[in-house]
Amino acid sequence: MPKDVIPVVVSADPGTYEDAHVHAIYDDIADHFSSTRYKPWPIIAEFLSEIPTGWMGLDAGTGNGKYLSLPPHPPGKIWSIGLDRSINLLRLARSAGGVTREVVLGNVLDYCWRKGCFDFAISIATIHHLTTSERRRVAVQRLLEAVSPNHGRVLIYVWAIEQDGLSKRSIPTNGECSTSGQDVLVPWVSSDREQNATNAHNGVARVYNRYYHMFAKGELIDLVKGAALASGLELGPQPGGETGARGVEIVREGWERSNYYIELRLWQVR
């Protein structure tokens, strides 16, 4: 049966609300959550398989490091750093795939890197945990700033209002959802291990309500447009001439299994 998703209006300070309804929850449920996150999405696996040998990447919101350990072909052809706000998920990501990984504790909104230091970046199921449109735009902007202005590639995934028949979530909708998305709390039912660790629920499963912004059709594209404008980038394919022009092209975008995704390529005319 679909989980009961709860519509919510966030009126508290965004950072404080995210600390309580996102970050603290993932620290509590890290082991159980990680046990359910092991199968890569096909488009993400395809994107990583096409990255040129020797490129360095950022996994912004790496979670348990599932995509850090996705084996490229040949092994060792690319190197990625994982960034996450959950210290307990990072402890798992540190040894994802049985290999020591490079991980950093930090927020996707922060300036964590020298601009343009990565060749590519992915952000999978992360930006939808930010409570305002402005914060979500800034997160996309940080991704654009983190990769090379000459050839950087970016792939972003977020949960969609439009859920498919296999989804465990039932998203309530209203007349405003078609363009602005929906803020919701999505329940996570604790495992026996989590209950025993807290020793406070007397055998009754604890329910954690995680905050999500469920994206409407076109909303992710609008977010990219806003981030490009804020970063001083043109939006569209690389033109001829115009020395000094910088921009970002939407390579592809779409919907896959209850998620919206968008792939971007940066360019610069020198």
Q: What mean pLDDT do residues 193-208 have?
A: 63
Q: Which residue has the higher pLDDT, 77 or 123?
A: 123
Q: pLDDT (tens digit, 9 = 90+) per residue, 64-122?
A: 999 998 866 666 789 999 999 999 999 999 999 888 999 999 999 999 899 999 999 99
pLDDT of residue 141: 98
Q: pLDDT (tens digit, 9 = 90+) per residue, 168-191?
A: 666 655 544 457 899 999 999 986
Residue 248 in contact with residue 216, Cβ under 8 Å? no
pLDDT of residue 174: 52
Distance CA 127, CA 29 (A): 19
Beta bridge partners of 210: 186
pLDDT of residue 208: 96
pLDDT of residue 193: 55
AA letter at 241: G
b/e map of 11-28 (b: 16 or more CB within 10 Å)? eeeeeebbeebbbebbeb
Q: pLDDT (tens digit, 9 = 90+) per residue, 13-72?
A: 999 999 999 999 999 999 999 998 888 889 999 999 999 999 999 999 999 999 998 866
What the chain holds in terms of domains, given with CATH numbers, is: 13-164+215-269 (3.40.50.150)
pLDDT of residue 192: 55
pLDDT of residue 165: 67
What the block records as the tokens of 51 is 């990255």
Which secondary-structure segment (H or E) carries 247?
strand 246-256
Strands 259-268 and 3-4: unpaired
The DSSP output letter for 190 is P
pLDDT of residue 170: 61
pLDDT of residue 166: 66
Q: What mean pLDDT do residues 196-215 have?
A: 76
Q: Which residue has the higher pLDDT, 38 or 139?
A: 139
pLDDT of residue 171: 63
- 244 by Cβ neighbours in 10 Å (0-12 / 13-18 / 19+) ranks as exposed
Q: pLDDT (tens digit, 9 = 90+) per residue, 206-265?
A: 999 999 999 999 999 999 999 999 999 999 999 887 678 999 999 999 999 899 999 999
**Where do the H-state alpha helices sit in the chain?**
14-18, 24-35, 42-49, 87-93, 133-146, 177-180, 192-198, 219-230
